[in-house]
Amino acid sequence: MKQSGSSSSVFNLAVLVAALGYFVDIYDLLLFTIVREPSLAGVGVDLSNTQVAIAASTKIINWQMVGLLIGGILWGVIGDKKGRLSVLFGSILLYSVANFVTGYIQTVDQYAYARFVAGIGLAGELGAGITLVSELLPKAKRGVGTSLVAGIGLFGAVFAYYTFQFTNEDWRLCYKIGGGLGIGLLLLRVSVAESGMFQHIKQKNVARGNFFMFFNNAARFRKYMLAILIGLPTWYVIGILVNLSNRFAKEFFGETKVQSGRAIMFAYAAIAIGDILIGLVSQYFKSRKKALYLFYAFTIIGLILFYSPLNSSDNSMYIICAWLGFSTGFWAIFVTMGAEQFGTNLRATAATTIPNMVRGSLPLINLMFLDLFQKSMGWDLIRSGIVTAVVVMVITLIAAYYTEETFHKDLNYIEGEELLP
């Protein structure tokens, strides 16, 4: 079936707009991590009191993560009920407004509530974009197309870091710039066509965007859980190793000037390169899973390097964080596989909720890393990190083994029914 407004080129307007949307999404998602300390000071937090500063930071990021979880379900359902473009317009409008509001907040509570609203908006961008691109491109090229979306988009973290530097660390202005970028992107989206597959099923009397369909069928539930578990290493690496790189550096080699914001910038620049490359690797192997296994191997090498004696200076820490970023640059393939696992009537819900469930797994990984291993068992930072890494990678590798290969899969079908004519 010919897609409405589709093009066989991976450089079409839908890919470009989805990539720019994810670029702005990542800019906003990572901005708090980059501007954390000056922004906390700007709302009256005493940074000299470590306990108070950590409590305020944790509160804000937790509210944002809760917003992502709620938004993932909300936008996924809307994407399958109302269309992929409805999400692309609605989500960026919501988090653009939240960005502007964040530029004017005065208290920690206001900061947390603004990031909660932003989190809801941020949750819809990638899943809807990946779904739209997957359905508009022919199956032989959709892996490359979705990798370009994620690869270009992830440079938003680099842009956020340098925007913060260029504005003389004016964190309020950085948030306002993010809001302006979003509004500009809305104008580009006017020309993007809706998915032909979605237009086709709109005419059929089938359930669309029913989140509970993932749980009322054993085979479907199994696919959904496996699709989530194969993405766990990404947020272990970013949320623990890179985010706490300055603390790990102090444990490894004492005196250090490592900045976690700078480490995140290096990691995300490398993730973007990895995300683009893995699409080409997937095309070469004609397999999503083989490409995934290769990048898992890169991740394991990176983890060994991180905890090895080779990680002995500020420069080596930054280099290893960049390698870990590159090796976890399978985000695009992971989200694409999630979209490919399910029929057109559930695809946006799957592609939007799955990455946000992985983001939402970070508090659980932190619970194991901090509360179980460090507080309850009394282990130090390094031992806790190593055991957490082993647990995460074992779970992920088992999940990947049982995950369906989707490279050659025809996406033109309804969940629970035969292929559409």
Report yes or no on 412 lying in a domain.
no
Report yes or no on 322 lying in a domain.
yes
Percent of the chain with pLDDT over 90: 37
**CATH for 277:** 1.20.1250.20
Report yes or no on 208 lying in a domain.
yes
Tokens of 343: 């029929």
Most confident of 67-71, 322-326, 345-349: 322-326
Give the structural domain span for 34. 13-402
Amino acid at 18: A
Interval 88-129: pLDDT, tens: 778 888 988 999 999 999 999 999 999 999 999 988 877 777
Average pLDDT of span 335-359: 85
82, pLDDT greater than 50: yes
Instruction: Identify whether the C-beta of residue 6 lies closer than 8 Å to the C-beta of residue 193.
Output: yes
Report yes or no on 8 lying in a domain.
no
Tokens of 323: 């390698």
Buried b (16+ CB within 10 A) or exposed e, 248-261: bbeebbeebebebb
Report yes or no on 407 lying in a domain.
no
Report yes or no on 52 lying in a domain.
yes
Instruction: Identify whether the C-beta of residue 292 lies closer than 8 Å to the C-beta of residue 205.
Output: no
Amino acid at 148: L
41, pLDDT greater than 70: yes
Report yes or no on 6 lying in a domain.
no
Q: What phi and psi values does residue 38 have, to the nearest 5 degrees?
A: -65, -30
Say what the pLDDT of residue 221 is: 94
Tally of structural domains, the chain: 1
Say what the pLDDT of residue 230 is: 96
3 vs 188, higher pLDDT = 188
Report yes or no on 7 lying in a domain.
no
296, pLDDT greater than 90: yes
Say what the pLDDT of residue 197 is: 54
